[in-house]
Every structure is written in structure tokens, then in C-alpha cells.
Amino acid sequence: MITWDKSLDSLFINGKWISADSGRTESVINPATLEKLTDVSWAGRTETEHAIQSASLAFPEWSRKTARERSKILYKTHELLLERVERLSTILTMEQGKPLAEAKGEIRSAANFFLWYAEEANRLYGEWIPSSIPGKRLLVKPEPIGVIAAITPWNFPSSMIARKLAPALAAGCTVILKPAPETPLSAIELVSILTEAGVPDGVVNLVTGDAEEIGSAFMESRDVRLITFTGSTEVGKLLMKGSANTVKKLSLELGGHAPILVFEDANLERAASQTLASKFRNSGQTCICANRVYVHENVKERFANLLHEKISLLKAGNGLEKGIDLGPLINRQSLDKVQSHLKDAIQKGANVLNGGAPLQTGLRGYFYSPTLLTQATKDMKVMREETFGPLLPLQSFTEEADVIHKANDTDYGLAAYLFTDNLSRATRVSEALEYGIVGVNDVFPAVPEAPFGGVKQSGIGKEGGSQGIHEYVNLKYISTVID
């Protein structure tokens, strides 16, 4: 346990921790127990404008540093994150609810993003183009885009920040970070570590507070050149509309509705374990987690039985305790959404194999029992909308072409998964799926070295990989006539 004896001055502007001008604060709540952890400052437009100004002033010097200098700071951040994994994961679990083992995994993942971009900072190459006109030299030079604003969600309060800040800083950008109001403490810890690692004043700024005021200050600013956002498709669309006037670049990681396709030639044991891991990690509050499973008619009963047995063994509770597989949902609204999707599915003919109700754990938080549904059909909400909770519907299929059509029949296009031991099928189906990420016998595709991102209404741009740093640069083309 970690305790805070006073409220935190959680705005970090130009290298100083300060409170909001209004003196306003908001509580941070442990979602497992509903106890207050501490209070943080609640910023609005004025503080955000100061933070933007601070990032603008810091930009020329930071962007002129050599890649190697920036890389060293990112490498140090990676080391500090790993050294502090116990503290950081405990705080993450306390404010977000996920089991401690998952929180540790998240901190290590955040650290690895800093390591990856410490390395990529040194490999941000340009291009020399052979000219068709004699006496000309044509060069393409990547330059940092400028001041960027990062808006992050509560489901991965540490790694979502790392994915954005590591490439932005590597490229030479300066940043204003707005974390989710539910999970500001992980953001505060990370910003402190960046400062300790040597990030100069003004290069990283933090504003916790009113989403709409902070968001509109970002959107209306001429200095903010890019908004990088992870969150709902609805807010992503607002950011796109609001950024039109200043023609900002946007990098958007939005919602998903991931299908899992289980073919009859799959290793069913593996498919069941992985489906379970994908759906119930973070209690189903993950944008790439399984939302709907299509299982071949011939194996549907065996697969459902395997899942049923495995789900029966899952234990929910306070993530700080040993042996806990599922933490609470983030708030009451989330629980209500799971309930309403379940009710709708039952009304439309689904059969409940496991769970199906809120869970009594003796804690005050919003726990929901891991729930398995069979006989799901496409008209059910759970088969079309993001539930963001531990509800897993199964629907059977017989034809490959038909299941591909079903999988693609959505406005989302983030991640899709398939289980098969047939190489031709794996290749054919993964190429036919209209998704930014496809996992073949793999539900954990997110790694720092690969490009993560959706298509359709799941987003624009990539995080991770050599591609991820390109979000944060402009390509300047220089054409020179030589005498």
C-alpha cells in the first residue's frame, strides 16, 4: 500500500509542480474499494494555455539537441521505470483496479517503449533523391512536428502515455499531457521520472483537469501541431472536428470490436486459453480485447466447455492481493453497460453459461462475474458495440467466407484474431480481415517494435515500431541548385 498524506499539486508546467489557479481539486478513487486515495489539482483553460506556452518556448532547444542526447534521457527513463516497478505497479493497481501482475506487465511495457524509442531516436533517417534535372540536389529531411498534446485513457494509465511520449520526445517534440481523470497518479509518477531522467523544463508538461476545457485549448491553439489521442471513437471525432480550424495533425487510437475466429482445425486448448486471456485481462476493459467469438459449428461445444471450465477458475477481487485474476470495473456506468448488453442478449435468445451478474466480493467496488454467452446473434448489442467489460459471446459458423464477412461487418477495424493450424487458411483469412492488427494464434500482438493502430473508425496512425516515430515528424523537402 502507498498513502498520500495531502492533496497533490499535480500540474507540471515549465518544470514546476503547481496547483490550479482556482485552487480546485478532485479526488482519485480506488475502484476496488471506492476509498479516496488523494486529491489532485483540477486545471482548466488558463493552466492549459500556460502549459502550451511552456512547451512552445522549450521546443527550439529540445529539437536542436542531438538524437543521441535525447536518446540518453529516454534510456535513463527506461531504467528508472524498471527500478521502480514495485511502486509504480502498486499505484497503478490502486487507482485503476487491475491485478498487480498485470500492472507490473504494463510498467515493463511502458519501460520497453522508452527503450525502443531511445534506439529509434538515432535511426530517424532522411532520403537523398536522384534528380532528373542536372545540377540539382533533392533531399528529404525529417523534422519534429513541434508542440504536441497527448490525451490518454484510464485502462492503461502508464503504457498509453509511454507509447506517445517516447516517440514524441525521441523525434524532438515537446509535450502537454492530459491523462484520464480516473488515473492521474500513474501520469504524475511517469512525469516525475522523466524529469529525474533529465528531460529539461518545459519539454514535458502535465495538466490534470477538465477534459472539455483542456481539449478545446489544445484544439484551438495554433502552437499545438498534433493531438495524439487514445480513447473512444466519439471523442476522437470531436477532436477531428475541433482541429479543423487550425489544420492539426491527429493520431487517433479509438475503439474496437475485435472478433476471434476459431476454425475447426485450431488447437482448441490454446484457442480457449488465449480467448480467455484476451477477454478477461483488465476485466475486458481493453480496446483490442475479444468482443465476439465465431467458432466453427463442429467444435463449438468442445470449445464452449473448455472456456466454461477455465472461466469457473477465475477469481475476482482487490488486485493488490495474491491470486486475483479480475479486478473491478472502473465505475458504476461501466457496470450498467455490461448489465444492459447482457439483458439485451438474453432477450434476443442468448444462453448464459458462466456468470451473468454483478459479483459480491465483500468490497465496495464494481465487480462483475466473468460471463460466457452462447447462441449469440448479430442483432445483439454485445456483437456490435464495445461492452468494455467481462462479457464473452459465442456464435457458430460453418463457412470461411461467411465468417470473414461477419468479422468485417463493423465500422471498427482495430484488431482481429484467428485460430487455425492450417497455414494457407491463416494467410488467406488474415489478408481478408479489414483490421489494422491481426493475431494468428496470438492475442497479444502489442509490442514496442511493431506498428499498432486501427483502420476505419478505429483510428488514424500507428504507435510503436519504426513507423511510430513518423507520426511526430514533418518531412521537409529541400531542392538545391548547385553552381
Measured distance CA(159)–CA(163) in Å, rounded: 6
Q: With the CA atoms of 168, 174, 180 and 183 taken in that order, what torsion angle do they form, in degrees rounded to the nearest 10?
A: 90
- The nearest distance, CB 369 to ligand ADP, in angstroms, is 22
- The nearest distance, CB 463 to ligand ADP, in angstroms, is 15
Residue type, 435: Y
Nearer to ligand ADP, 180 or 316 (CB): 180
**Start-to-end CA span in the chain (Å):** 70
Nearer to ligand ADP, 216 or 408 (CB): 216
Measured distance CA(394)–CA(377) in Å, rounded: 9
Contacting residues toward ligand ADP, per CB under 6 A: 151-153, 178, 180-181, 211-212, 215, 231-232, 235, 238
- The nearest distance, CB 160 to ligand ADP, in angstroms, is 9
Angle of CA points 31, 187, 258, to nearest 5°: 65
Q: How many CB atoms lie within 10 A of CB 478?
A: 10
Measured distance CA(43)–CA(46) in Å, rounded: 8
Q: Check the CA dihedral 366-370-374-378 and report its sign.
A: positive
Instruction: List strand residue ranges (DSSP E) for 189-269, in order.
Output: 204-206, 224-230, 249-253, 258-262
* Cell numbers placing 227: 493531438
- Grid-cell match 521546443, residue found: 59
Measured distance CA(261)–CA(231) in Å, rounded: 25
**Is there a contact between 109 and 464 (Cβ–Cβ < 8 Å)?**
no
- The nearest distance, CB 333 to ligand ADP, in angstroms, is 8
Nearer to ligand ADP, 181 or 200 (CB): 181
Q: What distance separates the 2 farthest-apart alpha carbons in the chain? A: 81
Nearer to ligand ADP, 271 or 289 (CB): 289
Q: With the CA atoms of 146, 152, 156 and 157 taken in that order, what torsion angle do they form, in degrees rounded to the nearest 10?
A: 90
Out of 173, 182, 189, 287, the active site residue is 287
Q: With the CA atoms of 91, 58, 213 and 29 taken in that order, what torsion angle do they form, in degrees rounded to the nearest 10?
A: 10
**Is there a contact between 228 and 164 (Cβ–Cβ < 8 Å)?**
yes
Q: Is 173 a catalytic site residue? A: no
Q: Is 102 a catalytic site residue? A: no
- The nearest distance, CB 427 to ligand ADP, in angstroms, is 35
Residue with the closest Cβ to ligand ADP?
215
Nearer to ligand ADP, 67 or 238 (CB): 238
Nearer to ligand ADP, 211 or 447 (CB): 211
Nearer to ligand ADP, 215 or 327 (CB): 215
- The nearest distance, CB 27 to ligand ADP, in angstroms, is 15
Out of 182, 253, 386, 471, the active site residue is 253
- The nearest distance, CB 418 to ligand ADP, in angstroms, is 27
Measured distance CA(342)–CA(356) in Å, rounded: 7
**Is there a contact between 289 and 278 (Cβ–Cβ < 8 Å)?**
yes
Task: List residues with catalytic annotation.
Answer: 253, 287
